[in-house]
């Protein structure tokens, strides 16, 4: 990272990135809003570079995840809600918590253990069925 990109940092960016995160902005969107490359944000995030920005950007990512979770919470009973698209967004944007996993080592299938691992497609089908019943 060049010295000039480090000098572009302004303390007011700390509040700005959190505010944008609360709107669901990704790190790339935040970088574009500020007018820098996302790599610059990651450089500023280093604790020994701008400690307050490090905290702010982490908070912004958390706020963005919360925004998306609220969208799912609000939309789950809305028949216009696109659950597969929402689920794909969640698994791509927040893989640590929403990535679907496949256990390829399990040769002895236990029906009870498989119940917790529903694909986005299966979840959407169940949601659609529930919507029709209520």
pLDDT, tens only, 80-127:
999 899 999 899 989 888 887 766 665 554 444 444 555 667 666 666
What's the predicted TM-score (pTM) here?
A: 0.69
Judge whether 91 and 100 are in contact, CB under 8 Å: yes
Q: For residue 30, with 0-12 CB atoms within 10 Å meaning exposed, 13-18 middle and 19 or more buried, which class applies?
A: buried
Q: Is the pLDDT of residue 15 over 60?
A: yes
Pair of tokens at residue 77: 């009973």
Pair of tokens at residue 87: 């689920």
* Helices and strands counted in the chain (H then E): 9, 0
């Amino acid at each position: 990272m060049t010295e000039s990109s480090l000098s572009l940092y302004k303390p007011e960016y700390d509040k700005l990135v959190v505010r944008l995160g609360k709107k669901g902005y990704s790190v790339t969107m935040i970088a574009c809003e500020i007018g820098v490359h996302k790599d610059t944000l990651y450089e500023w995030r280093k604790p020994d570079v701008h400690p307050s920005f490090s905290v702010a950007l982490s908070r912004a990512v958390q706020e963005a995840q919360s925004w998306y979770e609220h969208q799912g919470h609000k939309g789950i009973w809305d028949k216009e809600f696109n659950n597969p698209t929402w689920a794909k967004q969640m698994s791509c944007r927040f893989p640590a918590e929403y990535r679907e996993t496949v256990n390829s080592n399990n040769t002895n299938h236990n029906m009870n253990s498989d119940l917790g691992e529903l694909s986005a497609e299966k979840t959407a089908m169940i949601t659609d069925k529930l919507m029709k019943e209520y």
